[in-house]
Structures are given as structure tokens and as C-alpha cells.
Amino acid sequence: MCGRFALIITPAELEKIFGLRLDEEFNPRYNIAPSQTVPVITYLEKDNKKKLSSMKWGLVPSWAKDPSIGDRMINARSETIQEKPSFRSAFQRRRALIPASGFFEWKREGTTKNPYFIGMKEMKTFAFAGLWERWVHDNNFLETFTILTTEANELVRPIHDRMPVIMPESVYDIWLYPSTDISQIIPLLAPYPENKMQAYPISKLVNNPKNDGPEILERVG
């Protein structure tokens, strides 16, 4: 699973990279946890345009009676995405990109689990593949997202057997547009090439989501 990630660029840099305006304030984040709100890129069919807006991490399906279901839906396995009622509709019509600077996984070493930071070489900003939903209740609405996962590549596998699906920049529009045929989407749900990535051990400061500073990303060992 992917249960923690970072996005450490400024709003201006974020807008420049993705060519979109952010509709809410955002500060660089070193330790993003489930239920928190982060920038997400979607495609709005009715407006025929892409949008960069803030959403809560943890998908709440439109039919859910209780929004707390989102606490259990921070990830969606790409292998079963078309079978699960919670994700099937969003996969067809509401795909998203979640900007990131890297993510965290924990490797079991002896009797402990030690955290690692995993991202692109040179700390290049990238995007996870995600799904989004709008939940409406009593004239209030909540926009939420989940991150898709796949089997780990050779870099991540010694740390964890799963990793988030990372979208190459060249297929951002293919992924986002609802009109894209699903036969074009399925091949995109593959492990990202390990030769473009890096991974290194960090301190256990990341274990507490209240810790959210640059020291989180410092290499240890």
C-alpha cells in the first residue's frame, strides 16, 4: 500500500509544472497522511478542461451512507479495479493525478520496520494515478481520492511488495480523459521503471504524521 507521501514544492512551482491554477492555498508538505487534504488534478467533462483542486485522501463513493468509509479506501489495487463496486465507476469516468515528490515505505529488518523515502532521481516532481469522487449530503459535498497501487519494481521490492502507480508525463492526458478507451488505460497500470528512481533510509520521524519538516527526508545510515 501507499500510506504516506510528500509534496515539497511551492504552489507556484506546482502550477508551472502542471500548467494549472491551484484553487486553494497549499504549503510544501513532507509527511502527508490519509484524511489530509492535498492538490489533485482532474478533468471536468462539463467544462471540457483540467482542474487542480484540493481533495481529502480516502475515497468516499457517492453512494456511501457514512463518509468514514474513506478511512479504509486510501488505496485501490489496480489488478482488481474493474471488479470492485467502490472503484469501478470512478475508474471509468473519474481518474485523477496526484502530484508528489516521493512516498514512504517501511522495510522489516529483524524485529523492527525501518522507513525509506522513495522518489525520482534529482527529486523530480511526478504524479500518482488516482481516482476521485464527490460525495453529497444535505447540500454539503466532499471531494476525495484514492491512490492506485501495483506490484513493486526491482528498486522497491526489497522494501515492500507493492508500490503506487506512477504516471509518465507523456500519458497524463490519456489517463485523465474519460473518453480514453479502457484498453489504453490498462497497460499504464504497471510498475514505474526503477532506473529513473531512488530509495534511501530515513529516520523514524516519519512514523508520526504530526512531524512535517525537511528533516523527514534526511538520509540516515
Catalytic residues, by residue number, are: 2, 105
User: Which residues does residue 129 pair with via DSSP β-bridges, in sequence order?
Assistant: 97
The helix (H) or strand (E) run that includes residue 183 is: helix 182-185
Please give the distance of CA 39 from its chain centroid, rounded to a whole number.
Answer: 10
SS3 state at 8: coil
Cα(155)–Cα(159) distance, rounded to whole angstroms? 8
User: Which grid cell is 33?
Assistant: 497522511
Length of the chain: 221
The number of beta carbons lying within 10 Å of the beta carbon of residue 218 is 12
Asked if 81 contacts 91 with a C-beta cutoff of 8 angstroms, the reply is: yes
> Mapped to the 3 state alphabet, what secondary structure does 186-203 carry?
HHHCCCCCHHHEEEEEEC
Residue 184 in 3-state DSSP?
helix
Site of grid cell 488505460 = 185
